[in-house]
């Protein structure tokens, strides 16, 4: 059986700024760490001659347009990861439309490249926010990659197909969906190819899970630049962390665990498997898929 190609995706956001707002309700600027860490990923991809898909936060593009130009110049695909990193659960239809269409226009203007793909912050397209798929199609995206087909606490759409599929949105638009990769562990679907799941799994398990997925379908790897950040955060972050309640403090600390293992795991995947951009995977499947009414 031939193995499917995988896609390597990066959600480009500044971890410090998002943590300050979401955990401590403090507004802070995107820091230039997002630039340095994204450049580290760019070098890694260049070493392995892999083209990837970067889902960019509008606020990052606004503050660091030269980074967007650099990603585009190296031949990678650019997508949208919202403008202010607002989850679909917290927005009206109109707010969601403004959020993603402004980010799309900004990234297209800076890069001179078309933007086809969208990824919602925190995989916030679920049965509860399926109207978001209408909005994503209305904003002119060809594909979305925001659905985690698991029965999760914060997100998830457990009975969503696991394949890249052409869907008809609730208002009847056509949209391609690239669901995130999962494997079955002890009777439950579990994500394995990104975020905390990638950080906490030992490398052998990541590789085994990856092999299982690509025997059947493309694996979708996702990573955030801040997951490669092993330098201490600035003092203003620790000031807020010290004031936080015990549970929140521990939750925030857990975001730091195992970060040193992420880079070697990404190297292992890039060395052993073939990757393509999301739009290439989508285009290969666009014509041969039956329409799914969700
Ligand atoms: Zn994000």
Structural domains present in the chain: 6-293 (3.20.20.370)
Distance 51 CA to ligand 1 centre (A): 20
Q: In this structure, what DSSP letter does residue 42 have?
A: H
**Euclidean distance between CA atoms 13 and 5, whole angstroms:** 26
Query: Ligand 1: distance of its center to the CA of 140 in Å?
Result: 21
Helix axes 235-243, 246-254, angle to 10 degrees: 140
Backbone angles phi, psi at 220, to 5 degrees: -110, 105
> Tokens for 39?
């450049």
Could you give the CA distance from residue 89 to residue 45 in angstroms, rounded to a whole number? 34
CA of 35 relative to ligand 1 center, distance in Å: 15
d(CA 122, ligand 1 centre) in Å: 6
How far does residue 291's CA lie from ligand 1's centre (Å)?
29
The two structure tokens encoding residue 260: 């040193």
Distance 2 CA to ligand 1 centre (A): 33
Exposure string over 144-180, b if 16+ CB within 10 A, otherwise e: bbbbbbbeeeebbbeebeeebbbbebeeeeebbbbbb
CA of 11 to the centre of ligand 1 (A): 6
Rounded to the nearest whole angstrom, what is the distance from the C-alpha of residue 29 to the centroid of ligand 1? 15
How far, in Å, CA of 239 to CA of 11, rounded?
A: 27
Distance 85 CA to ligand 1 centre (A): 6
Ligand 1 mean position, distance from CA 249 (Å): 20
Q: Which of 5, 1, 112 is nearest to 50 (CA)?
A: 5
Question: 123: left (phi > 0), else alpha (psi -120 to 50), else beta?
Answer: left
Rounded Cα gap, residues 109 and 81, in angstroms? 16
Distance (Å, whole) CA 61 – CA 69: 9
What is the model's pLDDT at position 292? 63
Q: How far is the CA of 281 from the centre of ligand 1 (A)?
A: 22
User: What is the distance in A from the centroid of ligand 1 to the CA of 218?
Assistant: 22
* Residue 204 CA, ligand 1 centroid: distance in Å: 26
pLDDT mean by block of 10 residues, the chain; 294 residues: 80 95 91 97 98 98 98 98 97 98 98 97 96 98 96 90 94 96 89 89 93 93 95 91 88 85 96 95 74 62
Distances (CA, A) of 166 to 20, 126, 217: 37, 17, 15
pLDDT value at position 105?
98
81 Cα: distance to centroid of ligand 1 (angstroms) = 7
- CA 84 to ligand 1 center in whole angstroms: 10
Distance from residue 170's CA to the centre of ligand 1 (Å): 25
| 267 alpha carbon – ligand 1 mean position (Å) | 22
């Amino acid at each position: 059986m031939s193995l499917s190609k995988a896609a390597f995706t990066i959600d480009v956001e500044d971890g410090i700024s998002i943590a300050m707002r979401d955990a401590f309700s403090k507004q802070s600027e995107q820091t230039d760490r997002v630039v340095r860490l994204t450049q580290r990923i760019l070098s890694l991809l260049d070493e392995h001659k892999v083209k990837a898909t970067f889902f960019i936060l509008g606020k990052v593009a606004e503050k660091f347009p030269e980074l967007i130009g650099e990603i585009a110049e190296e031949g990678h695909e650019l997508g949208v990861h919202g403008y202010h990193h607002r989850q679909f659960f917290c927005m009206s239809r109109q707010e969601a439309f403004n959020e993603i269409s402004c980010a799309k226009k900004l990234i297209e203007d800076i890069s001179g490249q078309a933007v086809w793909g969208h990824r919602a912050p925190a995989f916030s397209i679920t049965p509860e926010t399926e109207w978001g798929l209408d909005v994503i199609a209305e904003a002119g995206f060809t594909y979305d990659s925001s659905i985690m087909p698991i029965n999760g606490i914060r997100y998830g759409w457990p009975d969503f197909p696991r394949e890249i599929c052409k869907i008809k949105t609730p208002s009847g638009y056509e949209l391609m969906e690239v669901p995130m990769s999962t494997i079955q562990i002890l009777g439950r679907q579990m994500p394995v190819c990104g975020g905390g799941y990638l950080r906490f799994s030992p490398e052998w398990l990541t590789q085994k899970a990856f092999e299982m997925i690509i025997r059947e379908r493309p694996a979708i790897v996702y990573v955030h630049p801040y997951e490669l950040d092993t330098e201490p955060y600035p003092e203003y972050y620790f000031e807020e962390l010290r004031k936080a309640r015990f549970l929140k403090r521990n939750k925030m600390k857990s975001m730091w665990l195992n970060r040193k293992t992420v880079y070697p795991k990404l190297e292992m995947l890039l060395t052993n498997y073939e990757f393509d951009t999301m739009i290439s995977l989508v285009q290969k499947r666009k014509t041969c898929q039956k329409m799914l009414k969700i």
